[in-house]
Amino acid sequence: MHEFCIAQSLIELAKRHVPPGTMLRRLVIEAGPLQGIDPDAMSWAWQAATDSTDLAGSKIELVQLPWRLRCGACGREWTAPELSATCSCGADEAHPVGGADLLLRTLIVDDPSEEQSDAGSGCRECAEAQR
């Protein structure tokens, strides 16, 4: 299962980019269709890989990108959910363009020191709205 290897690589990226003194809550990744990532397997791999680390309890969100296709007959490019797509020109010569993307898009963190200072306000929703 390559999702576990991906999770381990993402852990290294997150550790380098999460600001000191904050806690990672969620990270968002985008994956092209050639990556072949199963969302359930990715969630499980992330949980297993982070279990004994300071990232434990954080969540991963996978955004699966559509296929980018190019028509061999007319050169038109478009996106489609499936690889087998017919161009609007009628040609059945669609070829994938890229698709191996794997991008770390977003890190969402909490600052524990802010949570403690907000605790006295008594209104968690108000404290979260201020962030």
Three-point CA angle 65, 67, 69, nearest 5°: 145
Ordered strands of the 67-71 beta sheet? 77-80, 67-71, 94-96
Same domain, 93 and 82: yes
C-alpha to C-alpha distance for 36 and 100, rounded to whole angstroms: 9
- Residue 87 sits at φ, ψ, to 5 deg, of -70, 155
Lowest mean pLDDT among 33-37, 46-50, 80-84: 80-84
Predicted TM-score of the model (pTM): 0.76
Q: Are residues 106 and 72 in the same domain?
A: no
Give yes or no: residues 61 and 72 share one domain.
Answer: no
Tell me which residue range forms the domain holding 18.
2-65+101-130
Q: Rounded to 5, what percent of the chain is helix, strand, coil? A: 35, 25, 35
Pair 58, 12 in one domain: yes
Q: Total domain count for the chain?
A: 2
Look at residue 113 in the predicted model and tell me its pLDDT: 72
75 and 109 together in one domain: no
